[in-house]
């Protein structure tokens, strides 16, 4: 068990240092912070609302921001290894495929968590201007981090399929978009029109990240929502393992 944890830490450190060894990580963080600021203060009308809350002007945009930014951060996880041919070297090391997968995923998730943590000045500004419910804000951050992790796990899976990073990016965007639209109100209303079964609409909405993220951004910490995001992460990483083992067997 200790050796497995040590291997995961080694892979995670290697991957995390790879992010900051090039300007890509810094460009990503700057773009993320600029977009967050733009959508919060300009599009979201933070000051015009006159309300000390981050639910609508801040967290509501995260599923759409992550839709493109997270696949951009995760598309290189396995695609680059396959393109450069280092995946064979990595898989011949004394580590198991799942240790490499978990290590790479955790490193990228930590990187996304760091980018999200840099938005704390928005929270400080809100507390300076009013008296927000910081419990709701904290829960919103948990939901945002889980959402980013779900998108990242999907990106990890698609990057294992192909050595082309662009194809990996497009595939992950399409899958993540489906996870958004499955529970998006306009889509559910359209399903209600064409379907006479409320259970079908509820079943489709249950697969949506929006349905589960909305509760968390409102301050409702429901274990079912956490389990949902963990299930997406677990399934995507399991599928990644199946794909990687296929490369190893080949």
SS3 for the chain is CHHHHHHHHHHHHHHHHHHHCCCHHHHHHHHHHHHHHHHHHHHCCHHHHCCCCCCCCCHHHHHHHHHHHHHHHHCHHHHHHHHHCHHHHHHCCCCCHHHHHHHHHHHHHHHHHHHHHCCHHHHHHHHHHCCCCHHHHHHHHHHHHHHHHHHHHHHHHHHHHCCCHHHHHHHHHHHHHHHHHCCCHHHHHHHHHHCCCHHHHHHHHHCCHHHHHHHHHCCCCCHHHHHHHHHHHHHHHHHHHHHHHHHHHC
Contact 156, 150 (CB under 8 A): no
The pair of three-digit structure tokens given for residue 108, joined into one six-digit string: 């990228």
**Any idea which of 25-39, 79-93, 140-154 has the lowest mean pLDDT?**
79-93
Residue 248 has pLDDT above 70, yes or no: no
C-alpha 249/C-alpha 25 separation (Å) is 33
> Which candidate, 17, 210, 35, places its Cα nearest to that of 118?
35
pLDDT interval class at 1 (50, 70, 90) = low
Residue 90 has pLDDT above 80, yes or no: no
Output 137-141 pairs: Cβ under 8 A, ≥24 positions apart: 137/54, 139/216, 139/217, 139/218, 139/219, 139/220, 139/221, 140/54, 140/55, 140/58, 140/59, 140/216, 140/217, 140/219, 141/116
Average pLDDT of the segment spanning 50-59:
80
Residue 34 has pLDDT above 90, yes or no: yes
Contact 101, 237 (CB under 8 A): yes
pLDDT interval class at 250 (50, 70, 90) = low
User: What's residue 231's pLDDT?
Assistant: 95
- Is 56 or 132 the better-scoring residue by pLDDT? 132
Residue 177 has pLDDT above 60, yes or no: yes
Burial class of residue 35, CB neighbours in 10 A (0-12, 13-18, 19+): middle
Q: Please report, for the chain, the start and end positions of each structural domain, with discontinuous segments joined by +.
A: 2-249
């Amino acid at each position: 068990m200790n050796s497995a944890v040590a291997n995961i830490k080694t892979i995670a450190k290697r991957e995390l240092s790879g992010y900051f060894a090039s300007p890509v990580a810094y460009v990503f963080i700057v773009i993320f912070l600029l977009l967050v600021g733009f959508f919060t203060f300009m599009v979201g009308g933070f000051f015009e609302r006159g309300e000390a809350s981050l639910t609508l002007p801040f967290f509501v945009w995260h599923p759409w921001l992550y839709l493109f930014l997270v696949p951009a951060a995760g598309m290189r996880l396995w695609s680059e290894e396959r393109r450069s041919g280092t995946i064979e070297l990595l898989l011949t090391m004394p580590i198991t495929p799942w240790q490499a997968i978990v290590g790479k995923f955790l490193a990228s998730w930590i990187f996304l968590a760091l980018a999200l943590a840099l938005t704390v000045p928005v929270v400080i500004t809100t507390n300076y201007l009013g008296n927000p419910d910081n419990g709701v804000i904290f829960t919103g951050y948990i939901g945002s981090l889980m959402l980013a992790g779900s998108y990242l796990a999907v990106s990890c899976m698609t990057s294992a399929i192909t050595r082309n990073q662009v194809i990996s990016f497009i595939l992950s965007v399409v899958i993540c978009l489906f996870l958004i639209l499955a529970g998006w109100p306009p889509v559910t209303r359209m399903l209600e029109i064409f379907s006479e079964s409320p259970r079908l609409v509820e079943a489709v909405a249950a697969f949506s990240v929006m349905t589960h993220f909305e509760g968390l951004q409102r301050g409702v910490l429901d274990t079912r929502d956490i389990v949902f995001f963990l299930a997406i992460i677990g399934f995507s990483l399991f599928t990644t393992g199946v794909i990687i083992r296929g490369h190893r067997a080949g």
